[in-house]
């Protein structure tokens, strides 16, 4: 009897179902094209991508609003909020200001009844105990004078549009944010009877006792023209008269610029220090200290006899054949103020790299004045790292037509920088990214006028983040290389680095002017911490530029400037990284308000960590250096307050 094959002649109706087909693997899978997704699925994917972009835009807007609110609380309320504050930090600060006790675990209770508000007569005699939190005081004052309950409830409200997961969820103080000054226009009693200038002066008088506070040295800069282009001291007697005046004011020392274009002017590696040697000898006679600034840039100002301080002549001769040693903008215009960071490792300077040229100059200075450093005459050495001696790209050159508040332009179009950009793009796997942005505007553009810097612009795209990371990374690499050799050359001396104050467009999402200057610091990113980590690695003293009251936030400010907010971010980020911080005044001190503001910055009253400046430097050629009767009493009191010796307050 023949045996049937179990699969050959089986009845189809009774046979088991065929096994499922397997997905081809390996090369076989490539031969089978995948079926395209149905049209409905494609539309759904596009809608999800659009929703992601809308979510990102909403989050950026929330963070920008949060940043402005935090800045208002810090600046006008003196709330000691950390750099990355959340809602708990803000609530705790408000509760403490109201007299409540807040423990680290969140336990909150009213330890004692809030102190009664002082009467207007007491304020007229300046008997108030504290005016350190004027915004919160004005809010409490509105409760004390019979304000209706509905308006009281709106004084402090929670912004429900902010999600708890946002970077800085905060409590919004509507009344205080709208009023940039310390006064409250809705009331006419108590504190509000005084003008904003009177409140500032009252605060200075009430909190003007700086005795037993930390000693902060004060330095004043000497004029550029005292050394001519042949490195000769022009007028020794005029220098002695100026130093004698400074000595009478109890100033600790002076700031002296040592120009690369003067010392190594004619021949590579031939240094002439004779004029500076004579100058340091005169300063030593008056027992003043010296802070030396090694200036590796040129100056647009004229020294004695109309001499322009430029880069060394032999460098300019090299530039006649190779202009790519200078920073270059998108139009191909060269900036001859300083050398491009693209040649830091390129042997284009008579067989030396840019880094080697800087190191040879620093080593020559140390060998020439080593004895003065050991004696303590030279207290610190500031190393110039970019345009105007500051750590930044020359993104806003006036000789190229830039005017405030232009956003500036990226300076990365010389041959060597473009080579580096191409290598970075190739390593990333996107060679078409080896270009600068073509929609970033011009020197005098506004951020909202450009496709790159506007809200939701290309600065936050994949390409934009790549380019800005590369652009700021070049700055950080330059810092690391120069400071590594500086610590080697100066053998333990205190080294100072100056950070610029690019405060315009700070209240926008992109911070366009900071981006072109090399600081990747939009509202959703801390652009200063990477720089400060590098400075901490080399134990550097940070110098911050400080501006006067006329540069505070204005409601109708078309530049969206915020110098106080920027200074607060930079100083607190530096202190968080363990850096010593100093301040340089960029404007003349001609009134009491300016001195009070500098003192508040130098010795923060509400800082729980008791931070203070390491020194204060005045870099302008100011009237008090030339005219003894201008602001003399205020300046003398200011110096005593910085020294922690003052027993009297400022006078008008």
Is there a cis peptide before residue 45, judged by omega within 30 degrees of 0? no
Taking a C-beta distance cutoff of 8 angstroms, is the pair 306, 299 a contact? no
**Distance from the Cα of residue 376 to its chain's centroid:** 31
Q: What does the pLDDT look like over 108-161, one tens digit per residue?
A: 877 655 444 444 444 333 333 333 344 333 433 333 333 333 333 333 333 433
Q: In whole angstroms, give the CA distance from residue 235 to residue 222.
A: 13
Nearest to 408 by CA among 450, 466, 349: 450
Taking a C-beta distance cutoff of 8 angstroms, is the pair 532, 546 a contact? no
Q: For the chain, give every domain's residue range.
A: 60-95, 213-643
Q: In whole angstroms, give the CA distance from residue 62 to residue 579.
A: 31
Beta pairing partners, 339: 326
What DSSP designation does 440 have? S
Q: In whole angstroms, give the CA distance from residue 460 to residue 454.
A: 10
Higher-confidence position of 637 and 357: 357
Taking a C-beta distance cutoff of 8 angstroms, is the pair 141, 117 a contact? yes
Q: What does the pLDDT look like over 167-186, one tens digit per residue?
A: 333 333 333 333 333 333 33
Residue with tokens 């450093």: 373
Residue-by-residue DSSP string for 290-318: EEEEEE-S--SSB-GGG-B--S-HHHHHH
Nearest to 450 by CA among 461, 437, 464, 439: 439
Q: Give how far Cα 533 sits from Cα of 58, 479, 528, 538, 542, Å.
A: 31, 11, 9, 9, 12
Mean pLDDT of 73-93: 73
Residue 238 φ then ψ, to 5°: -65, -35
Catalytic residue among 390, 409, 514, 634: 390
Q: In whole angstroms, give the CA distance from residue 453 to residue 472.
A: 16
Mean pLDDT of 344-364: 97
Catalytic residue among 264, 382, 584, 634: 584
Torsion angle (degrees, nearest 10) of CA 594, 595, 598, 600: -110
Q: What does the pLDDT look like over 109-124, one tens digit per residue?
A: 776 554 444 444 443 3
Taking a C-beta distance cutoff of 8 angstroms, is the pair 552, 561 a contact? no
Within 13 A of 528's CA, how many CA atoms are on the CB side? 25
- The CATH code that applies to domain 213-643 is 3.20.20.80
pLDDT band at residue 637, thresholds of 50, 70 and 90?
confident
Q: Whole-structure pTM over 0.95, yes or no?
A: no
Q: 223-242: string of b/e by CB count within 10 Å (b at 16+)? A: bbbbbbbebebbeeeebeeb
Q: In whole angstroms, give the CA distance from residue 455 to residue 60.
A: 8
Nearest to 444 by CA among 504, 520, 389: 504
Q: In whole angstroms, give the CA distance from residue 412 to residue 53.
A: 30
pLDDT at residue number 643: 92
Is pLDDT above 80 for 615? yes
Torsion sign over Cα 263, 265, 271, 272: negative
pLDDT at residue number 650: 55
Express as a percent the part of the chain with pLDDT over 70: 71
Residue 584 a catalytic site member: yes
CB neighbours of 564 closer than 8 A, spacing ≥ 6?
71, 75, 552, 553
Q: In whole angstroms, give the CA distance from residue 569 to residue 591.
A: 26
Residues counted in the chain: 652
Q: In whole angstroms, give the CA distance from residue 237 to residue 504.
A: 42
Express as a percent the part of the chain with pLDDT over 90: 52
CB neighbours of 603 closer than 8 A, spacing ≥ 6?
210, 213, 214, 216, 612, 613
Taking a C-beta distance cutoff of 8 angstroms, is the pair 346, 429 a contact? no
Residue 390 a catalytic site member: yes
Q: In whole angstroms, give the CA distance from residue 490 to residue 485.
A: 9
Mean pLDDT of the chain: 78
Q: What does the pLDDT look like over 430-474, one tens digit per residue?
A: 999 999 999 999 999 999 999 999 999 999 999 999 999 999 999
Quick one: angle between helices 563-576 and 39-77, nearest 10? 90
Residue 241 φ then ψ, to 5°: -65, -40
Q: Coil, strand, or helix at residue 459? A: helix
């Amino acid at each position: 009897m023949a045996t049937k094959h179990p699969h050959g002649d089986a009845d189809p109706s009774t046979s088991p179902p065929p096994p499922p087909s397997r997905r081809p693997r390996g090369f076989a899978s490539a031969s089978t094209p995948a079926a395209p997704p149905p049209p409905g699925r494609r539309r759904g994917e596009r809608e999800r991508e659009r929703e992601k972009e809308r979510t990102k835009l909403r989050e950026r807007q929330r963070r920008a609003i949060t940043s402005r609110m935090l800045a208002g609380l810090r600046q006008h309320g003196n709330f000691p909020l950390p750099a990355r504050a959340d809602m708990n930090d803000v609530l705790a600060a408000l509760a403490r200001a109201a007299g409540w006790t807040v423990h680290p675990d969140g336990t909150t209770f009213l330890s004692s009844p809030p102190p009664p508000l002082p009467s207007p007569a007491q304020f007229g005699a300046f008997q108030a105990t504290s005016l350190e939190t004027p915004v919160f005081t004005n809010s409490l004052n509105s409760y004390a004078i019979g304000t209706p309950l509905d308006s009281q409830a709106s004084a402090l409200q929670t912004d429900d549009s902010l999600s708890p997961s946002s970077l800085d969820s905060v409590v919004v103080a509507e009344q205080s944010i709208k009023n940039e000054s310390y006064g409250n226009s809705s009331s006419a009693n108590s504190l509000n009877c005084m003008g904003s200038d009177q409140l500032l002066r009252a605060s200075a008088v009430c909190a003007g006792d700086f005795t037993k506070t930390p000693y902060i040295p004060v330095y004043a800069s000497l004029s550029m023209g005292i050394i001519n282009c042949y490195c000769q001291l022009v007028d020794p007697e005029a220098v002695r008269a100026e130093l004698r005046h400074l000595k009478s004011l109890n100033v600790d020392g002076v700031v002296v610029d040592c120009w690369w274009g003067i010392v190594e002017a004619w021949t590579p590696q031939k240094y002439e220090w004779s004029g500076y040697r004579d100058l340091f000898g005169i300063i030593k006679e008056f027992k003043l200290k010296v802070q030396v600034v090694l200036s590796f840039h040129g100056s647009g100002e004229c020294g004695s006899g109309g001499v322009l301080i430029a880069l060394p002549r032999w460098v300019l001769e090299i530039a006649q054949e190779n202009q790519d040693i200078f920073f270059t903008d998108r139009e191909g215009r060269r900036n001859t103020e300083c050398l491009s960071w693209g040649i830091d490792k390129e042997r284009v300077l008579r067989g030396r790299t840019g880094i080697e040229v800087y190191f040879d100059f620093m080593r020559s200075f140390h060998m020439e004045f080593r004895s003065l450093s050991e004696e303590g005459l030279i207290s610190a050495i500031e190393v110039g790292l970019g345009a105007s001696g500051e750590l930044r790209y020359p993104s806003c050159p006036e000789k190229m037509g830039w005017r405030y508040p232009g956003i500036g332009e990226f300076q990365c179009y010389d041959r060597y920088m473009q080579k580096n950009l191409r290598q970075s793009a190739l390593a990333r796997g996107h060679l078409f990214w080896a270009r600068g942005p073509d929609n970033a505007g011009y020197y005098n553009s506004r951020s909202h006028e450009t496709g790159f810097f506007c809200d939701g612009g290309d600065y936050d795209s994949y390409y934009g983040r790549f380019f800005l990371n590369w652009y700021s990374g070049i700055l950080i690499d330059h810092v690391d290389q120069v400071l590594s050799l500086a610590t080697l050359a100066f053998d333990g001396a205190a080294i100072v680095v100056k950070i610029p104050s690019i405060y315009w467009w700070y209240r926008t999402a992109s911070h366009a002017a900071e981006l072109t200057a090399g600081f990747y610091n939009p509202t959703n990113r801390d652009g200063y911490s990477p720089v400060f980590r590098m400075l901490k690695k080399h134990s550097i003293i940070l110098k911050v530029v400080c501006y006067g009251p006329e540069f505070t936030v204005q409601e109708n400010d078309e530049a969206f400037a915020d110098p106080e907010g920027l200074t607060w971010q930079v100083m607190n980020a530096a202190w968080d990284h363990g850096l010593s911080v100093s301040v340089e005044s960029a404007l003349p001190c001609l009134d009491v308000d300016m001195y009070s503001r500098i003192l508040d910055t130098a010795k923060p009253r509400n800082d729980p960590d008791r931070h203070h400046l390491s020194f204060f430097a005045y870099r302008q050629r100011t009237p008090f250096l030339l005219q003894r009767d201008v602001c003399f009493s205020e300046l003398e009191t200011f110096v005593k307050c910085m020294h922690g010796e003052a027993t009297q307050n400022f006078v008008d």
